[in-house]
């Protein structure tokens, strides 16, 4: 009987991995773009489902891993754990092109790379040159205009 619950838990993780992949692909096509937190959660769902498929582990452990992924991954993805967050985000950056294969992101306005630090977050304004500050202002103005168009 417990094996049935374990298989059901594993099936839920597989379903979440597939459905959240579809969600990331849908969001990537939209003007607001997808969330890196959601992409990290999708990666975690796939890793858990594959590990429990390959190894003969008790699938009931998924019952405590699932809430950990859903509630803990945003903390990790937003840089909450030094070292671990950078490693997880590096793996997510390698994984995202796989789940977004075939989707053109030409319409998305990416921030200039020199405005970002090594974790992909925006550098503080006081660390930018006047030229970088000007380009950052232009970037945020474009983002604000996109949001206004989406609302109205």
Q: What is the pLDDT of residues 43-80, one digit of tens each?
A: 999 999 999 999 999 999 999 999 999 999 888 888 77
CA dist 99 and 94 (Å) reads 10
Beta bridge partners of residue 122, listed in sequence order: 116
What are the C-alpha distances in Å from 103 to residues 23, 25, 131?
13, 7, 32
Q: Where are the domains of the chain?
A: 2-105, 109-152
Report how far Cα 71 is from the mean position of its chain's Cα atoms.
13
CA dist 9 and 66 (Å) reads 9
The pTM assigned to this predicted structure is 0.68
């Amino acid at each position: 009987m417990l094996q049935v619950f374990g298989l059901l838990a594993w099936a839920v993780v597989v379903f979440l991995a597939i459905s959240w992949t579809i969600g990331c692909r849908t969001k990537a096509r939209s003007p607001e773009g997808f969330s890196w937190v959601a992409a990290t959660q999708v990666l975690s769902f796939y890793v858990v489902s594959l590990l429990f498929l390959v190894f003969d582990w008790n699938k009931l452990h998924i019952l405590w891993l699932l809430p950990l992924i859903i509630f803990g991954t945003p903390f990790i993805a937003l840089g909450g754990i030094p070292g671990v967050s950078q490693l997880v985000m590096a793996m997510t950056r390698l994984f995202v092109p796989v789940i977004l294969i075939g989707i053109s992101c030409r319409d998305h306005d990416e921030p200039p790379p020199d405005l970002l630090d090594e974790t992909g977050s925006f550098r503080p304004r006081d660390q930018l040159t006047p030229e970088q500050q000007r380009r950052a202002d232009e970037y945020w103005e474009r983002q604000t205009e996109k949001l206004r168009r989406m609302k109205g």
